[in-house]
Amino acid sequence: MIYILQETVKGFFKNKSMNLITIGIITISIFIFGLFIAGTANLLNVIQIAEDRIEMIVYLNDNLDSNGIKLLNEQISTILGVQQTEFVSKEQSLENFKKEMSENSPLLSAFESNPLPASIKVTVSMAYKTPDYLKEISEKLKLFEGVEDVDYGSEWIDDLDRLIKILFLIDIILGIIITLSSVFVVFNTIRLTVYARSEQIDIMDLVGATETYIEFPYIIEGIVHGFLGAIISTVILYSLFSFIATKIPNVIFLNSSLIFFLVLFGIILGFTGSFMSVKQCMNELREIKRLEPVGKRKSLSRSVKGK
Amino acid sequence: MIIFKNVYKYYKKDWVALNNLNLSIEKGQFNYLIGRSGAGKSTLMKMIYMEIFPTEGEVEVAGFSTKTIKQNEIPLMRRKIGVIFQDFKLLKDRNVYDNVAFALQVTGEKYSYIRKKTLAALAAVKMSHKRNSFPYQISGGEQQKVAIARAIIKEPFILLADEPTGNIDPEGTKEILELLFEINTRGTAVLMATHDYSLIKKSFGKVIGLRDGKTVKPDDIFKMEFGGQS
């Protein structure tokens, strides 16, 4: 065990440039991966904010009395997907309208009486904020007596829905590409560090070191590379997002579980990369040794020709 | 201790490296293995430390058989065998002491035991004074001595030497040979593959001739080499 630790530490300081390159490449790979994860998290956040704003306004008939409104309100509450309802009177609507427009708008003074209808604001549960459900709910609402019209910005929601779907598709494709390419790049870099010491692996194999003993220093080194790469890239990502957050509001950075995931991703990358590389290296060395006589045969044929 | 029973080895369909080879190497014996390039010398050596396996037949080494040995038993078997090569196979980034100690470090021995054995092995090959040198600072002959120290540190029952003097000047060659004889007199069997037949005349030991993957009388090989037949 002491040997393994010694070897790991030695390996780290002996091949400084190789180690720095490996850690650097893992850092870059995880940085890009983290950027992508953070981007996705922010995309989800924006979608959440947009979906939060979706609400349904049920415009009421002017001659509906307070009992009718109460009954209607209760009926609406029983519809699947309706989370909350809020009655907005004619006067309230006018107030709101005045607030949105400027007080002395000439538009308002054109009316002698209040032209705005009373309404019920319906909040739909998150899970039902899809174009299909919203349409279904609005159809049901329209059937109630005293309902003049229902508005939920249907065109806008269709557009948003399409946008979300496209963004998700791009995000998934990008995610697959980034994950695969970082795995590929990291594996190949680790492979180089392992192959740089193939001579050592060869001798260990020859003097009767068990496979575990041969593999261990490389695997530990791979894990340390992955861990350091992940930590460095997380720090860079954190600084970057802190900076962006000062410029753009509502930007969210990776939460603690995502940071944990990134570090774990780095460790897993380092572990599997080194494990597979050292196995592959040993197999290739053995394969070369098994085929060596072919080379000798060639030299034999050369010497025969020489004669 | 080592028995080859009807061993065949094909590298390709049309190329037989070992052709029905039967051979035994006894405990404490000094053996020369002679034959031209491609005669199967290296194949035979590799089969003893089970780097390669017979296509047909069986090789038995220290109670392990090529037919029944498991992958995880190969390291244990190799600890009973010492191997040296023409190109020494030393680690360039470690000094002489560390190169020799390496063989015990990687099998998980204790520090004090490693130190004791390493110093003893270095003394046995008369390289104690150069224990802090790096391979590039010493001659080919000295590098081979370090490789021998590494090979004998585990007190193997046999030392396999594949063309050990191929890269060494005559003076160094003499020293290496003397060292191999000395190791042999302490009870370790030696199997030395060589091209240099002049080495054989000067000394003792059993000579195994190999041609086209078969054992032949050593005299046949000498005749072929020196009698002008090709």
Q: Which residues of A touch B62 (CB under 8 A)?
A: none
CB atoms within 10 A of CB B158: 24
Q: Are A274 and A190 in contact (CB under 8 A)?
A: yes
One domain, residues A188 and A262? yes
Return the residue of A nearest to B91 by Cα.
A200
d(CA A293, CA A170): 53
Of the residues A151, A185, A207, which one is the last residue of a structural domain?
Answer: A151
One domain, residues A257 and A169? yes
One domain, residues A181 and A249? yes
One domain, residues A178 and A284? yes
pLDDT (0 to 100) of residue B201: 62
Q: Which residues of B touch A289 (CB under 8 A)?
A: 46, 51-52
Q: Is residue A62 part of a domain?
A: yes
Using the Cβ of B130 and the Cβ atoms of chain A, whether some distance falls under 8 Å is answered with: no
Are A293 and B72 a contacting pair at CB < 8 A?
no
Return the residue of B nearest to A203 by Cα.
B89
CB atoms within 10 A of CB A244: 13
d(CA A137, CA A81): 8
For residue A105, the domain's CATH number is 3.30.70.3040
Are B102 and A300 a contacting pair at CB < 8 A?
no
One domain, residues A210 and A245? yes
pLDDT level of residue A247 (50, 70, 90 thresholds): confident
A-B contacts (CB, under 8 Å) = 77
Are B38 and A292 a contacting pair at CB < 8 A?
no
One domain, residues A225 and A246? yes
One domain, residues A174 and A107? no
Q: Considering only the beta carbons, identify the residue of B11, B106, B107 that sits closest to A294.
A: B11
Are B91 and A203 a contacting pair at CB < 8 A?
yes
Å between A205 CA and nearest CA of chain B: 7
Asked if pLDDT for residue A18 goes beyond 90, the answer is: no
Return the residue of A nearest to B40 by Cα.
A293
Q: Which residues of A touch B111 (CB under 8 A)?
A: 2
One domain, residues A142 and A114? yes
Asked if pLDDT for residue A296 goes beyond 50, the answer is: no
Return the residue of B nearest to A206 by Cα.
B78
DSSP letter (8 states) at residue A146: T
Using the Cβ of B15 and the Cβ atoms of chain A, whether some distance falls under 8 Å is answered with: yes
d(CA A282, CA A215): 9
Q: What is the pLDDT of residues B32-47, one digit of tens each?
A: 998 888 788 888 999 9
One domain, residues A218 and A120? no
Asked if pLDDT for residue A3 goes beyond 80, the answer is: no
Q: What is the pLDDT of residues B82-138, one digit of tens each?
A: 999 999 999 988 999 999 999 998 888 889 999 999 999 999 999 999 999 999 999
Contacts of A116 (CB under 8 A, 6+ apart): A90, A93, A94, A97
d(CA A218, CA A192): 12
Asked if pLDDT for residue A295 goes beyond 60, the answer is: no
| Alpha helices per DSSP H over B125-169 | 140-152
pLDDT level of residue B230 (50, 70, 90 thresholds): very low
d(CA A164, CA A34): 21
Are B15 and A204 a contacting pair at CB < 8 A?
no
Q: Is residue A298 part of a domain?
A: no
Of the residues A102, A120, A151, which one is the last residue of a structural domain?
Answer: A151
Number of structural domains in chain A: 2
Q: Which residues of A touch B15 (CB under 8 A)?
A: 297
One domain, residues A167 and A270? yes
Q: Which residues of A touch B52 (CB under 8 A)?
A: 289-290
pTM above 0.90, yes or no: no
Are B52 and A214 a contacting pair at CB < 8 A?
no
Q: Which residues of B touch A202 (CB under 8 A)?
A: 89
Å between A269 CA and nearest CA of chain B: 26
d(CA A207, CA B83): 8
Q: Is residue A205 part of a domain?
A: yes
Return the residue of A nearest to B77 by Cα.
A208
Per the structure, the complete domain to which residue A261 belongs is given by: 2-50+160-291
User: In residues, how long is chain B?
Assistant: 230
| Mean pLDDT within A21-37 | 87
Q: Which residues of A touch B75 (CB under 8 A)?
A: 205, 208-211
One domain, residues A171 and A281? yes
Are B37 and A207 a contacting pair at CB < 8 A?
no
d(CA B137, CA A99): 90
Q: What is the pLDDT of residues B149-187, one digit of tens each?
A: 999 999 999 999 999 998 889 889 989 999 999 999 999
Q: Of A16, A206, A298, which to mutate for an interface test with B (greatest number of B Cβ within 10 Å)?
A: A206
One domain, residues A44 and A59? no
Are B89 and A202 a contacting pair at CB < 8 A?
yes
Q: Considering only the beta carbons, identify the residue of A199, A207, A292 that sits closest to B42.
A: A292
Q: Is residue A296 part of a domain?
A: no
